[in-house]
Amino acid sequence: MQKRARINAAIVMSIIILWLMIPLGATAVYSLFEDWTGIVPRGFTLANYKTIFTDTAFLSAMYQTVLICVIPILITIAVMLLALFTVTVYFPKLEKYMQLLCMIPYTIQGVILSVSILILYARNDSVLSQRMVMLMGAYCIIILPHIYNGIRNGMRAINMKMLLDAAEMLGESKLKAFFKVIVPNIMTGIIVSSLLAVALLFGDYVIIRNLSSANVNNMQQFLYQAMKRSSTEASAVSMVIILITFAITALVLALQSRGMLEKMRNEGK
Amino acid sequence: MKDKRRPKALSGKNVRYYYLLALTPFLFLVIMYELMPLIMLVVDSFKSEKAKDVLFTFENYRKIFTTLSYKKAILNSLKITTISTAFGIVIAFLGARAAYNSRGKFRNAYLTVLNMTSNFAGVPLAFAYMIILGNAGVVKQIANLYGIDFLQNFDLYSSSGLTMIYVYFQIPLSTLLLIPAFNGIRKEWGEANMLLGGTNTHFWHKVGIPVLLPSLFSTLSVLFANALSAYATAYALLMNNFSLLPVNISASFVGDIKTKPKLGAALSVVMMIIMSIVILVNNYITKKTTKWEGS
């Protein structure tokens, strides 16, 4: 019985792994060969990668992607740290409203968020109607649930009240103590949630399509345009996107398992 | 040091309100880019597309529920979302149970693949399917070579093709969400079931699934929301040629054809209502099914 369950499990896992890997494998093979019309692809080549990495439009899309991912994340983390500090220490009654506000983006998601920001600001004359400002605003909101959860869970894991009281007794103000003592203690949580946010923004297509002006492009948009031009070039772009996403996920997994080990070690003490 | 010479006005209760200042950046962000846009969206959905002086009308909503193409967008969205969610949850159940029943390196490899592919969606995913099953795709060419009928006739650029891609991105997400829930099922229960002469089917029917029910329902609502709001995958595959709620919403604001922002706002409200109903019903069922408390 036990053995049969284990064999069944192995079969199910193999099928799922295979199913999930096929599209990835296909993209990789397609990007690395000149011709793939039969069962066996022919003519190994790195030319597609050479083409895209010498294309200034691709490099500029890559650079812009990094920029428009990093800025909203830094803003949101700073805003969230201040707000969570104030609410947990001074206004615990507001906590549930804050949670509600942070979870709304989860249900409205990209399409509705981007068009509603467009309605509000597109015909405005001030700085708010600038495409870049609208995009940053939308990005800050769409990552709100992730950053909130990351920082909130980190705060729950340590005894924040006690640490702050201790610091206050030693003559530090609470706000200073928060940034000197609490923030370094929840750094792993902050980094993990910002990496998840990077993965989310990196994969965004709809918000940037609806909000950005024509000269701002991210890698997803570049891929979409490359698909229309040449599928071999697009496969190399797609592969670069996939590999970057993998690298981000691998980093998250590594940090999480390290966090888990630390926790186990601390509990053992 | 400064703190000790703090003026009296800032001590005690007043200090507390002084800290409200630290909340202003958060409130600014949320009000400017979350609440106000949503309020404007709802207000706009009741404005008229043509007559600017009309402040309140059901014109847009009437149009949505009487025009074939909009009705079709809603139905297509509901259909693809429901089918991909159903497939997603069944595969996730089997997939998470497999992870629960196994140990060791293979399981770790499996978890790594699930994690890695959980962010594989949108344009790159649609493109990968085009390479495989598109009109000039590898499988198509091989099928032509050997005359395999059902593959030759398979049309990726259709609602079944789109559903297939949606099922793909639902699998890693839903399996990863369900795996922790399986840890709530103790191995001893399976042994007890066996000692009492129960079969495997018995066990899952009477013990396993009831214990998992709350997690199954909360996973369902995540999957539903995920599929309903997916835009990039559908747009990359079919552009504006296939009626879907998110695609129609975007097209009424941005695009080559004449924009209809008021109607788009109403479509957005319809989509939000569908999403809220599903989430509320699921929350209600989850609460109802969590009578059983572990520990």
pLDDT tens-digit series, residues B243-285: 999 999 999 998 777 788 999 999 999 999 999 999 899 888 8
The pLDDT value recorded for residue A147 is: 94
Say yes or no: A261 contacts chain B, CB-CB below 8 A: no
Q: Are residues B13 and B66 in the same domain?
A: no
Whether B24 and B110 map to the same domain: the answer is: no
pTM given for the model: 0.89
How far, CA to CA in Å, does A75 sit from each of A86, B26, B31, B135, B286? 17, 10, 15, 45, 35
State whether B7 and B138 are in the same domain: no
Residues A11 and A102 in one domain: no
Same domain, A179 and A108: yes
The answer on A116 and A9 residing in a single domain is: no
Interface test with B, best of A32, A116, A117, A195 (most B CBs within 10 A): A116
Same domain, A92 and A27: no
Same domain, A34 and A81: no
Per-residue pLDDT at B12: 56
Which residues of chain A are within 8 Å of residue B95 when distances are taken between CB atoms? 12-13, 16
Express each pLDDT in A131-159 by its tens digit: 899 999 999 999 999 999 999 988 888 88
Q: Is residue B258 part of a domain?
A: yes
Residue A10 confidence (pLDDT): 93
Residue B4 has a pLDDT of 47
* Mean pLDDT score of chain B: 87
Do A38 and A155 lie in one domain? The reply is no
Q: Are B20 and B67 in the same domain?
A: no
B3 has a pLDDT exceeding 60? no
CA–CA distances in Å: residue A97 to residues A11, A61, A93, B274, B287:
46, 38, 8, 23, 21
Indicate the number of domains in chain A.
2
A60 touches chain B (CB under 8 A): no
Same domain, A87 and A193: yes
Q: What is the ipTM of this complex?
A: 0.89
Residues A126 and A258 in one domain: yes
Q: Are residues A80 and A177 in the same domain?
A: yes
Q: Which of A21, A69, A111, A144 to probe the B interface (max B CBs under 10 A)? A: A111
Mutation target for B interface from A20, A75, A130, A229: give the one with most B CBs within 10 A.
Answer: A20
Min distance B124 CA to chain A CA atoms (Å): 5
Half-sphere exposure of residue A142: CA atoms within 13 angstroms, side-chain side: 29
Assess whether A219 and A100 both reside in one domain. yes
- In a domain, residue B52? The reply is no
Q: Dihedral sign, CA of A59, A232, B235, A21?
A: negative
Predicted confidence at residue B141, as pLDDT, reads: 84
Residue A144 and residue A11 share a domain: no
Give me the domain span that covers residue A34.
Answer: 2-44
Same domain, A37 and A80: no
pLDDT in tens, B134-181: 888 888 888 888 888 888 888 899 999 999 999 999 999 999 999 988
Sequential pLDDT tens for chain A (269 residues): 578 888 999 999 999 999 999 999 999 999 998 888 777 888 898 989 999 999 999 999 999 999 999 999 999 999 999 999 899 888 889 999 999 999 999 888 899 999 999 999 988 888 888 889 999 999 999 999 999 999 998 888 888 888 888 888 888 888 888 888 888 888 888 999 999 999 999 999 999 999 987 778 899 999 999 998 888 899 999 999 999 999 999 999 888 888 777 766 666 55
Are B131 and A235 an interchain contact pair (Cβ–Cβ within 8 Å)? yes
Q: CATH number for the domain including A77?
A: 1.10.3720.10
Q: How many domains does chain B have?
A: 2
B contacts of A78 (beta carbons < 8 Å): 25
- The answer to the question of residue B174 being in a domain is yes
* Residues B26 and B135 placed together within one structural domain of the fold: no
Range of the domain at B8: 1-45
The pLDDT, as a whole number, for residue B142 is: 85
* Shortest distance, CA B205 to any CA of chain A (angstroms): 16
Q: Is the pLDDT of residue B93 over 60?
A: yes
Give residue B117's pLDDT band: very low, low, confident or very high (50, 70, 90).
Answer: very high
Task: Answer yes or no: is B85 within a domain.
Answer: yes
Chain A with chain B: Cβ pairs closer than 8 A: 243
Co-location of B75 and B18 in the same domain: no
Instruction: Give me the residue from B119, B142, B276 closest to A245, CB to CB.
Output: B119
B32 plus B69 within the same structural domain: no
B39 and B73 fall within a common domain: no
Is B138 found in the same domain as B28?
no
